[in-house]
């Protein structure tokens, strides 16, 4: 079987002038990135929807996506209106990446209820149904526990039919299996230590193998058509000639922040830790594709791992 080509995603998130933003986008395009993504947090960063529209105006090739929309911050019908507009104005270059929300301090700061994970994932599942209905060809109705829609004909319609690709991800079995059933892209995320296995257990290669198994189980025959994604977590990615020292410092940093120090070997193998020599990171990307089928790589900000993208773009 021919391996799927890599798709590389990068962020351009910090507030900046129009000229600086345009230069960042031109650079990302020249390096070989496929998609520019924007987190959805109420912190000093660019807001995802207007920033995606700006990328669409500055580039004729780059795709755009949130990474990821926090479902709890918008009603899905309002979100559908925004996203369909971006897809229309970009000539069909939008990916709909959406999650259940996780950053409790933001909820507390805005006075939003931070519901248990099961409630947030149930609400996310309903939101995906509403979004697909909004993008559909005819008026739709929906009656769920969290949302009620009555004969709403979403306008404008997105260019991509029947809808833009969905990306759903997380670290837990339930949300990953939702992605396996409903999305075209499934993002494998680390999760907290709430399951009793420790704060860093979900970072490991073995944990990622388990997550891919959950996705395969729920996806059934559609598994082969899914795109699997990973992204850096816990520490910033970097290319270095002092790999052992950098991994040791990263393990110390994680231990100080999370109260549990991972082994340096676990970090070296982790799909979520991108610290190494250029050749070593190329080898990691190729191993992820060959052994786990992971081909969508979000690699931080545009310039952080650009030599890796230049080496592998188009392969």
CATH of the domain at 226: 3.20.20.30
CB atoms within 10 A of CB 67: 24
Domain housing 163: 7-312
Q: Is 116 domain-assigned?
A: yes
Count of structural domains, the chain: 1
Q: How far is CA 80 from CA 98, 105, 121, 156, 207, in A?
A: 12, 26, 18, 9, 33
- Candidates 273, 223, 229, 269; CA nearest to 253 is 273
Q: Is 68 domain-assigned?
A: yes
Q: Are 11 and 302 in contact (CB under 8 A)?
A: yes
Which residue in the block uniquely carries the two structure tokens 């899905």? 76
Tell me the C-alpha distance between 302 and 22, whole Å. 12
Q: How far is CA 249 from CA 244, 268, 284, in A?
A: 9, 12, 20
| Helix or strand run (H / E) with residue 150 | strand 148-152
Tell me the C-alpha distance between 159 and 240, whole Å. 42
Q: Is 143 domain-assigned?
A: yes
Q: Is 237 domain-assigned?
A: yes
Q: Is 1 domain-assigned?
A: no
Which residue in the block uniquely carries the two structure tokens 């991509």? 160
Q: Is 222 domain-assigned?
A: yes
Tell me the C-alpha distance between 216 and 180, whole Å. 7
Tell me the C-alpha distance between 28 and 21, whole Å. 11
Q: Is 292 domain-assigned?
A: yes
Q: What integer pLDDT is reported at residue 2 of this predicted model? A: 75
Distance of CA 78 to the CA centre of its chain: 21
From first to last of its 315 residues, what are the pLDDT tens digits of the chain? 578 999 999 999 999 999 999 999 999 999 999 999 999 999 899 999 999 999 999 999 999 999 999 999 999 999 999 999 999 999 999 999 999 999 999 999 999 999 999 999 999 999 999 999 999 999 999 999 999 999 999 999 999 999 999 999 889 999 999 999 999 999 999 986 555 456 688 999 999 999 999 999 999 999 999 999 999 999 999 999 999 999 999 999 999 998 999 999 999 999 999 999 999 999 999 999 999 999 999 999 999 999 999 999 999
**Which residues neighbour 147 within 8 Å (Cβ) at sequence distance 6 or greater?**
75, 76, 77, 123, 126, 127, 130
Q: 65 - beta bridge partners? A: 37
Q: How far is CA 214 from CA 101, 273, 275, 295, in A?
A: 21, 22, 27, 18
Q: Is 2 domain-assigned?
A: no
């Amino acid at each position: 079987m021919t391996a799927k080509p890599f798709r590389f995603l990068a962020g351009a998130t910090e507030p900046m002038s129009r000229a600086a933003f345009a230069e960042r986008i031109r650079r990302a395009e020249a390096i070989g990135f496929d998609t520019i993504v924007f987190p959805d947090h109420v912190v000093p960063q660019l807001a995802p929807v207007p920033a995606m529209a700006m990328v669409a105006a500055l580039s004729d090739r780059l795709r755009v996506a949130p990474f990821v929309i926090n479902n709890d911050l918008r009603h899905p019908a309002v979100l559908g209106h925004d996203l369909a507009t971006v897809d229309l104005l970009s000539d069909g270059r939008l990916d709909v990446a959406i999650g259940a929300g996780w950053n409790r301090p933001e909820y507390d700061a805005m006075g939003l209820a931070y519901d248990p994970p099961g409630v947030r994932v149930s609400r996310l599942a309903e939101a995906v149904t509403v979004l697909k209905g909004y993008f559909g060809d005819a008026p739709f109705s929906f009656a769920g526990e969290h949302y009620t829609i009555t004969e709403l004909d979403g306008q404008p319609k997105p260019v991509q039919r029947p809808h833009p690709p969905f990306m759903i991800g997380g670290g837990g079995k339930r949300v990953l299996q939702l992605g396996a059933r409903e999305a075209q892209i499934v993002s494998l995320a680390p999760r907290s230590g709430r399951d009793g296995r420790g704060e860093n257990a979900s970072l490991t290669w073995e944990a990622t193998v388990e997550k891919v198994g959950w996705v395969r189980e729920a996806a059934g025959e559609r598994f082969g058509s899914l795109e699997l994604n990973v992204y850096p977590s816990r520490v910033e990615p970097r290319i270095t000639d002092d790999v052992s020292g950098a991994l040791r410092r990263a393990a110390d940093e994680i231990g100080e922040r999370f109260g549990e120090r991972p082994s340096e070997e676990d970090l070296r193998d982790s799909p979520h830790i991108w610290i190494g020599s250029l050749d070593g990171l190329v080898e990691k990307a190729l191993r992820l594709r060959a052994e786990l089928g992971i081909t969508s790589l979000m690699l931080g900000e545009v310039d952080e791992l650009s030599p890796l993208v230049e080496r592998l773009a188009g392969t």
